[in-house]
Amino acid sequence: MHPMVKPALRRGWRDLDTVQFGMAPAHAVTLGPMDRATTGFLDLLNGTRGMVLLRAEGRRMGLPDGRVDALVERLAGAGLLDDAKGGGPAADDLRGRRQALDRLRPDLASLSLTTREPGDAIARLAARRSLRVQVRGAGRVGGVLASLLAGAGVGEVDVRDGGKVEPWDVAPGGLPAEAVGERRDQAACRAVRRAAPDRPPRRGTRPRPEAADPGHSLVILAPRDDVAVHTPCPSTAASLISSGTPHLYAGVAEGTGVVGPFVLPGETGCAGCLHEGRTDRDPTWPRLVAQWRSGRPRQVRPCDLTLATAVAGLAAAHALAFLDGHRPSSAGARWEVSVPGLQWHARPVPGHPACSCGAAERVTEEAEGEHASETGGRHETMAGQRPSTELCRKAGAARPAGTWRAHV
């Protein structure tokens, strides 16, 4: 281990012997009391020295025996320490790709704020390279969103859409003006390649039967159609629910941008749950939906460019949070924002008993007090770390906790 005090956090002294790492409250930590000799030693923890050398430096600086190990342990315990050589073989491979890593350095520094163990940040960043994400929809939201994911290091971003690029699909960071008239999916895939810091790692050369296809770690539904954004059709996601594939909705409908729900099949509210909940609150809801869906499709729908970009950015951030092993706040909720006030707010999307996805049963089971030992693994599985071999293809109550298709 080559210990390094996380450089992402700015350091400041609250008093003579208390140091604060970080400015923003979300990730700031204070550490103290810290004597002067130990303080001077902190500067040596910059990732260039291994433990043997650090102990020797400690002795030279007059630190008592064991102080160096104790300090390193304490910093690591506080989540303040990284390992300049850690993260495993995939991380080493990424370190060897200097140009790509330089592009991703701010993302790596940011990951160091949300990971605790030394070496975890680069391990997570390297893991992104082997992920497969599908984005359905290559309009102003989908095109930018796909490029953002590729730019943030996701190895394979597959964009699906039909038709040809229209002038109003063009967006900075998404489909370029030169692509007008080209096939949407091809133009979007080209934009994704341009945004990526380097080429993704080659997949295994062993023959891969169709059945062994690891599938997508995540599918993002970013329809260009405003009705599909406002009231996503549950049948569109039926195969995602039955295969346990996590998916996220994002888009703009009229003057409102939407991110969510992020659906962990069988765990959190889905499009069907959303529809049932709305129908409970407003019995005329299905009648309205039927009219919107059967109305003549409009070629150009309202879509504020900056709103679409904000939605793409937030949705991509929620997607990455999930891919990095966290549970985004759009799980079980829809974040909405409308022009011109632009105040984000979350509307809950709880599991609904009338929906076959099983999320409501999960909530009921938890309310009835599942034993802690049974739920103990939930955080780990929410992190999406389960291999797809454990995939459960049956939706509904029969689905054990955390069997959505995870990244592998």
Q: Are 137 and 229 in contact (CB under 8 A)?
A: no
Nearer to Zn ion, 67 or 362 (CB): 362
Residue among 68, 122, 253, 270 that touches Zn ion (CB under 5 A): 270
* Residue found by looking up tokens 């699906």 in the block: 160
How many residues comprise the chain? Answer: 408
| Closer residue to Zn ion (CB): 356 or 388 | 356
- 156-160/3-5 β-pairing: unpaired
Task: Quote the least distance from Cβ 332 to Zn ion, whole Å.
Answer: 11
Do you find a cis peptide bond into 261, omega within 30 degrees of 0?
yes
Closer residue to Zn ion (CB): 117 or 365: 365
Binders of Zn ion among 121-150, rule CB under 5 A? Answer: none
**Residue of 119, 232, 251, 272 that binds Zn ion (CB under 5 A):** 272
Pick one of 154, 273, 311, 382: the residue that binds Zn ion (CB under 5 A): 273
User: In this complex, which beta carbon is closest to Zn ion, that of residue 170 or of residue 241?
Assistant: 241
Interaction with Zn ion in 359-388: which residues (CB under 5 A)? Answer: none
Upstream peptide bond of 340 is cis (omega within 30 degrees of 0)? yes
**Residue 333 contacts Zn ion per CB under 5 A:** no
Residue 218 has phi, psi (to 5 degrees) of -160, 140
- Three-state secondary-structure class, residue 291: helix
Give, as ranges, the residues between 24 and 53 that touch Zn ion (CB under 5 A). none
> Measured from the CB atom, is 90 or 346 closer to Zn ion?
346
237 binds Zn ion (CB under 5 A): no
Count of residues binding Zn ion (CB under 5 A)?
Answer: 5
CB 80 within 8 A of CB 21: yes
Closest CA to 108 of 136, 137, 87: 87
245 within 8 A of 404, measured Cβ to Cβ: yes
Residue 357 in the binding site for Zn ion (CB under 5 A): yes
Q: Which residue stretch of 49-57, 121-129, 207-215, 354-362 sits at the interface with Zn ion (rule: CB under 5 A)?
A: 354-362
User: Concatenated DSSP letters for 143-158?
Assistant: HHHHHHHHHTT-SEEE
In the complex with Zn ion, the residue whose CB is nearer, 63 or 263, is 263
Distance CA 306, CA 172 (A): 10
Residues in contact with Zn ion by the rule CB under 5 A: 270, 272-273, 355, 357
